[in-house]
Chains A and B, each alone.
Chain A
Amino acid sequence: MNFVLNLSFSDLLLLLPEIFLTCWLCVVITVDFVSPQMPKERLAYLSVGGLLATLGCLAWFDVNQVSGTLFGNMFVLDRMAIFFKIFILGSTILVILASIEYVDRFTLFRGEYYALVVMSALGMMFMASANDLLSVFVSLEFSTLGFYILVSYLRDDLASNEAGLKFFILGVFAAGLFAYGISLVYGETGKLVFSDMASAPATPGLIIGFLLIFAALGFKIGAVPFHSWIPDTYHGAPTPVTAFLSIAPKGAALAILLRIFIVALGTFKPIWIYLLVAVSIVSMTYGNIVAIAQRNIKRLLAYSGIAQIGNVLIGLAAGTKMGNDAILFYLLAYLFANIGAFAVVIAVSQAIGRDEIEDYRGLGRRSPFLAFSMLLFLLSLAGVPPLAGFIGKLYIFIAAIKEGLYTLITVGLINIVISMYYYLIVVKQMYINEPVDPSPISISGSMKAVIYVGLAGTLVIGIYPQPFTEWVVAATLMFANFMTPAATVSPASLLVGS
């Protein structure tokens, strides 16, 4: 491996978003440090400003099709990386806006909260670009570090502490698995960059190595059987952190999974397809069935998230260009619906102080806006047309049917029916049951903005999905070009519709 660094200024341009965000992070910390009397709300807007600027920069990259690799292929900037970075930044911005009120609950270090969120986002941006096992490991741990702290931010709350501890122990365990997996893979192939591994023969060591890596990433996305931390962590963590945790790291980890399965292991598709089909079926079924029994809305969303990941894995199991497009599209739909749902949860818990499903009694009377938004978000998660979630599920199912994965599809569809059941339980509480306390709920401006963005995304992607489908198709097209010829399964299955 060549470790000589030949960096020119134009190469560094590829890193511009990350470099800018790092500097901005320092600015946020410094401002907080220098003027401790300043209202923390301003720090939130300061962070959002920096994130927006980074987002703008990435959008400019996307439009001008900036791409390339750095540091001997460790870091890659292609349109898929840009897609995921925009995805991560978008969710970070929404999460910060949704947490402004909630931050008042923290007794200490309110300013650092925003810095930690931005830091995690930065780590995840690196994840989206990671192109070899080492950079994956480093960026993964970097982003998780921020989350370890964020999850246990409610210092006096036992549940939050428990959540933090569970998350930490299992997270470190996953990191150990990952490191061990890397060592096995490197030992067998002598390679770290994904595209170099493509032609490696399937030795037992390599297979075990990749299984370990898959387990570690499965932990990140919360697929069964690596999901055990999810319910307690989601339940105990501060709600905005839960929202963040339920979206951004999943997106970033999926970027890595896509690169590993399609680029590094493309030739082994006949083998790993069984693994993915099994994990997908178990995740969907387990997540949905256990969700039925939940009494807490955060736990319900946690289990529904596990099931949603099962759906995403259907697209990965398809293993085609269309499957990848579908994953990206699904994530977009999931982003808006999920963050919207969590925003409603935050707004309700600000007013009531609890987040049991029972507390949603008569929300339709107390706040028609919140109830209607929640209705749309839940229906989108369930996949009811014409909302974004429906098109996402349709896209994934078509990709899988094209590959003949009928069992998977059948299970997936039955799961839609199951999921409808528990989403309707919440709907029933909101609209059918009479409220205990009929006083109206007030919502802050920033929270309203988040919910409006969620609604807009859910409706626009559902009703006019064409620009978004074009975007995701373009995003994975560039990604396909980066694949070495040996890695492509068959050229025909990669190019959609041609």
Chain B
Amino acid sequence: MLEELTAVFPILSCILFLPVAGAVVLWLFDDEDMVRSSTLTIALVELALTLFVLLRFVPESAAMQFAERVQWIPALGISYHLAVDGISVLFVGLTAFLTVLVVVYSWDTIRHQVKLYMMCLLALETTTMGVFLSLDLILFFVFWELMLIPSYFLIKLWGAGADRHYAALKFVIYTLLGSVFMLVGIALLDINYHQWASLHHSDHAYSFDLLELLTVPIPISQQIIIFWLMFLGFAFKAPVFPFHTWLPDALLEGPIGMAVVLAGLKLGTFGFIRFSIPLLPDASKSDTIVTVVVGLGLCAILYGAWMALVQADFRRLLAYSSVSHLGFVVVGLFALNYQGLQGSLLTMINLGFSTAGLFFIAGFLYSRQQTTELSAFGGMAKQVPLLATFFLIIGLASIGLPGTNGFVGEFLILVGAFKAKWWVGSVAVLGVIFGAAYFLWYYERSMLGPLGNSVKSTMSDLQLREMVIAASLSIMILWIGLYPSPFLKIMNGSVQALVDRLHHETTAALDNDLTERR
């Protein structure tokens, strides 16, 4: 079993429940400015707490840190188990960071039902944190499902598009469809644990605890079934091609804040690296699964990029570019080597800065022209030089220019892919070229060239709040791009442990042992 460092003070519980507790407190306020400033305070305190965790986190270690564990439903083996390791700790920080930016962004862009909006946002933060922090699969599932409720309301009540009702429902139904299959997979893991434990007279009859499930061998046939069940859950959420159809709708119709969270936090692919790959190493290695999943990843890269090329609406373009980027992440994950996994993990974090950043840019554009259609722009760089500059920085990060964070992640993924299979790497490289094409094309037509017909000469450049958002994102992008080692150090230990587990023969050996006993 993995080493576990127990927390002296339940800081992860604080991180988990602070936003939702804050949401309850917001209920008491009536004044809108009061609501805004207290939400910002809560989000900043949350960010401070996660920074504390990041600073005290022991890098280069595979241990689960700041662990908290309490029995929840002993009859079913469900526990309240929180911890962070190199895989999840950066996501926790990213969630807190993005929430602060979303609150800042929403300050004057959300004008009706401000209190409810902020409450939904904070509830969403808690559930997202829960997904990243939970080590018990049912606890994880609880947050995974709960996330739908604030998201549903956010898309439906504050979405600007005419089809937001359809988009919200589609989002909920699609995600739910995937997650019910995942629940079966989780239950099968539990049953397998139960059978193994009763053979070996273990105390715990049932368990959903990741660390305990990791100690139990799973027959390869079972692993494959469970893998596909969980794959559906994660693939719908990620979304992996061809389960992505809800994403463009949700991103286009929902408010910018929701789009930032949906596109910035890669929960689905996090699920792969947190649960699928470590729990089901033999299935993840098997040829069929690697071929199919990597095949889907490659399809996603090309399809997403191709679709992004022809979009006239910037948010739709971003949605498809998200699909394309997720293809990269999936390809990197299922290269199943050190570089691939590390690159995927870093890319997931990077997308939290670059894709989310581009959505903020889309928001800035939207608040100036009330649309993100290409026809409304043209030659804007002269009018709004600052916006154009930040647009370029964040956009170049998204296409992976050297010196930005995107390069480090994509480069590692490509190295991993080439190491695994040369043709996978070669196809994936095409995605990078397409990526550059669709972004630069859109940028050129919207920002450069002659002034568009509908662009007003009175258009204002970035305001202070917008500057804060764009600048802090750019700082992070350049930091990871130029000096990624602190981030890589945090991941290294856990990624190494995962690679060891993948290429270790013990699970298979124990598997035979189990079959003999039966």
Which positions in A face B, CB cutoff 8 Å?
325, 379, 384-386, 390-391, 394-395, 397-398, 401-402, 406, 409-410, 413-414, 416-417, 420-421, 424, 428, 431-432, 465-466, 469-470, 473, 496-498
Contacts and interface: CB of A to CB of B under 8 A. Distances in A.
B100 to A, nearest CB: 27
Given A390-B145, A394-B138, 19 more contacts: A384-B149, A385-B138, A385-B141, A385-B146, A394-B187, A397-B183, A398-B187, A401-B187, A401-B188, A410-B184, A413-B180, A413-B183, A421-B169, A428-B156, A428-B165, A470-B75, A496-B205, A497-B194, A497-B206
Closest 10 CB pairs of A and B: A497-B205, A413-B180, A385-B142, A469-B75, A401-B187, A417-B177, A417-B176, A386-B142, A385-B145, A398-B187
B145 A401 contact: no
B172 interface: yes
Interface in B122-158: 138, 141-142, 145-146, 148-149, 152-153, 156-157
A394 B169 contact: no
B176 A420 contact: yes
Contacts of B76: 391, 394-395, 398, 469
Interface string B54-76: 00000000000000000111111
B173 interface: yes
A385 B183 CA distance: 12
B327 to A, nearest CB: 26
A432 B181 contact: no
Nearest to A326: B76
A395 B74 CA distance: 12
Contact of B180 (A414, A424, A466): A414
Nearest to B175: A417
Interface residues of B, number: 35
A88 B457 CA distance: 73
Contacts of B149: 379, 384
A401 B172 contact: no
Nearest to A412: B180
Contacts of A473: 75
Interface string B162-194: 000100010011001100110110011011001
Interface of A: prevailing SS:
helix
6 contacts: A401-B184, A402-B194, A409-B184, A431-B153, A431-B157, A466-B73
A169 to B, nearest CB: 39
B20 to A, nearest CB: 12
Contacts of A417: 173, 176-177, 180
A426 B364 CA distance: 35
A496 B157 CA distance: 47
Contacts of B194: 402, 497
A380 B191 CA distance: 25
B32 to A, nearest CB: 17
Contacts of B184: 397, 401, 406, 409-410, 413
Contact of A397 (B75, B148, B172, B187): B187
Contacts of B190: 398
Contact of A466 (B75, B156, B176): B75
Given A413-B180, A421-B173, A390 B153 contact: no
A325 B177 CA distance: 27
Contacts of B205: 496-498
Tell me which of A384, A385, A395, A470 has the highest count of chain B C-beta atoms within 10 A of its own C-beta: A385
A386 B169 contact: no
Given A397-B183, A432-B157, A465-B73, A420 B173 contact: yes
A413 B181 CA distance: 7
Contact of B152 (A394, A424, A470): A424
Nearest to A427: B152
A289 to B, nearest CB: 14
Contact of B156 (A398, A432, A469, A496): A432
A465 B181 CA distance: 24
Contacts of B146: 384-386
A200 to B, nearest CB: 33
Interface string B191-229: 100100010000001100000000000000000000000
A147 B177 CA distance: 39
Contacts of B206: 398, 497
A211 to B, nearest CB: 31
Nearest to B152: A424
Contacts of B148: 384
A401 B184 CA distance: 8
Contacts of A469: 73-76
A424 B171 CA distance: 12
A469 B141 CA distance: 20
A416 B176 contact: yes
A421 to B, nearest CB: 6
A420 B138 contact: no
Contacts of B198: 497
A496 B198 CA distance: 11
Contacts of A431: 153, 157
Contacts of B172: 420, 424
A401 B169 CA distance: 29
Contacts of A420: 172-173, 176
Contacts of B71: 466
A285 B184 CA distance: 18
B156 A394 contact: no
